[in-house]
Amino acid sequence: MAGTGTEAPASGQYDNVACPFCGILCDDLQVSRTATGLKVNKNGCAKAIAGFERAVENLRDAMGADAPETRRAERQAAAAGAAAASAPAG
């Protein structure tokens, strides 16, 4: 959905990220995606780095089954399965 603010930038870098890990609520962090999670690139204190860069083994476990990414992946898998089941044999 274009324009909803939920899309990830192509670069994988997020600017002006708000930090929820203490009461100051800094909103000028620069965070980027890595192969294993997130990396604080700029303006992060020790709490921000510890919070954003912590290991997350499984998105479903971390965010629950209602996470948008989890629901999207499940819908795509179901659609792919339905398409494969309805494809003509041969």
What is the DSSP annotation of 29-41? EEEEE-SSSEEEE
Is pLDDT of 5 > 70? no
pLDDT number for residue 50: 94
CA neighbor of 17 nearest in space, from 54, 53, 42: 42
Same domain, 67 and 37: no
Same domain, 20 and 40: yes
Same domain, 22 and 49: yes
Boundaries of domain holding 31: 10-53
pLDDT single digits (tens) 33-67: 888 889 999 999 999 999 999 887 665 555 555 55
Same domain, 37 and 22: yes
Same domain, 43 and 65: no
Same domain, 43 and 70: no
Please compute the mean of the pLDDT values over residues 66-79 and round it to a whole number.
69
